[in-house]
Amino acid sequence: MDKATLASVEVALRWRSPHAGHTDRRVFDRITFWRDLFPADMGERLSVAEAGTNVSQTVAAGELVAGYDSALVRRVPTSRFNTRPRPDLTLAPRVGRFYPLNLLSEVPGFYPQDRRPFRVLDADDELLTVDINHPFARFPATVEARVMEFLNVKEERGGRCNDIGQEMTEYGPGLQAALPDRETDFYGGEPFARLDPRADEQFYARARLVQHIDATARAGIGAIYERCLQPGMAVLDLMSSWISHLPESVADLEVTGLGMNREELEQNPRLAHHVVHDLNADPHLPFGDKRFDAAVCTVSVEYLTRPLDVFEQLARVLRPGGTFVVTFSERWFPTKVIELWTQLHPFERLGLVLDYFRRAGFVDLGTESVRGLPRPADDPYADRLAHSDPVYAVWGRAPA
């Protein structure tokens, strides 16, 4: 069989919003080059390229999705916003936030089951100004793709034609971008309330020596951390546990772990030092100024009830130019996650964490998402979930 018939392909969408650079990656496991659609001639170039070779294409705003249309900025009565989409959830339309269209009633041209996102641009008791354009409508981008593996299987016939540009943008990219001229209202109401308001020391008193994401996702997080670490660095592992998710390829790190459970920290082989400290009770980091070269926080940022204070502390304890990387996925302890986190789309959570970085003064901000990798065959959820846990990352550098 011609090697170019069927392949596993990783596609990366690279773009910039007003405040950060973004890379959104997705793996497509059975691409058929004669059927599936890539931007411009990328499909033809990929079909003859060697596996691992990058092929790229610059696309203008409006090429991957419908272009921005000012007619899709509407003013509607605030009363048409459904504040109680279900009995256990109360919402308010907040400036800069995204919501599914089915929360608006009687919007001409849109059907009641439409869950595409719209953005609130302005709000008062009488009127909402909403933007129904696609979240990615204003952004040019570079699309990069590489064949991960040519598949030695029978050529597929029939089936759905995949539009790669459409699939790369249909579930999230654009939602992490802040408005260029106003702040997003992430903080109205009680965003940091939790189902279990008791002191965290009670919840974390028992050691939990378990993995919170699958092995592929853990490796992906390690690869992201690897890009900002060098041998000999002093690294703070914030909200640490019995593993640190740091890449084995970077040796000689002086790692300090700050976490909630002493037993977990003592079993972590990467830690040279550890501190038991409850950041929700006291967000002050018990370290001197400019103590660390880098810091990481893995699948834990969603539990912070005073995140702005904690991020300001990170800016203090990092050396100028030091990198702080936050990673998360789509699993958490439901009783301890902040309420706001559960109300946001996964890509809008990237925007929330970016806002933490911006307000703390970090610079050179960026985000990355990784989706579509196969779940390990030996994973406990392999029989129910085809794909690995998605990985989301946000980073920035401490100001000079």
Q: What is the pLDDT of residues 307-357, one digit of tens each?
A: 999 999 999 999 999 999 999 999 999 999 999 999 999 999 999 999 999
> Which helix (H) or strand (E) is 120 found in, with range?
strand 117-123
pLDDT at 293 over 90: yes
- Extended beta strands in 187-331, E state: 234-240, 254-259, 271-276, 292-298, 318-328
Q: Considering the chain, what percentage of its residues have pLDDT values greater than 70?
A: 97
Q: For residue 112, what pLDDT band results from cuts at 50, 70 and 90?
A: confident
Q: What's the rounded mean pLDDT across residues 384-398? A: 95
Would you state the pLDDT for residue 394?
98
Q: For residue 6, what pLDDT band results from cuts at 50, 70 and 90?
A: confident
Q: For residue 398, what pLDDT band results from cuts at 50, 70 and 90?
A: very high
Would you state the pLDDT for residue 367?
98
Task: Choose between 255 and 152: higher pLDDT.
Answer: 255
pLDDT at 72 over 70: yes
Q: How far apart are CA 196 and CA 37, in angstroms?
A: 48
Domains along the chain with CATH numbers: 6-65+139-169 (3.10.50), 70-131 (no CATH), 200-397 (3.40.50.150)
What value does the mean pLDDT of the chain take?
94
pLDDT at 137 over 70: yes
pLDDT at 395 over 70: yes
Rounded to two decimals, the pTM is: 0.95
Q: Are 327 and 391 in contact (CB under 8 A)?
A: yes
Task: Choose between 22 and 171: higher pLDDT.
Answer: 22
Task: Choose between 58 and 114: higher pLDDT.
Answer: 58
- Kindly report, residue by residue over 206-252, the tens digit of the pLDDT: 988 888 899 999 999 999 999 999 999 999 999 999 999 999 999 89
Find all residues with CB under 8 Å of 225, minimum gap 6, and list them.
Answer: 245, 246, 247, 250, 296, 325, 327
Would you state the pLDDT for residue 1?
40
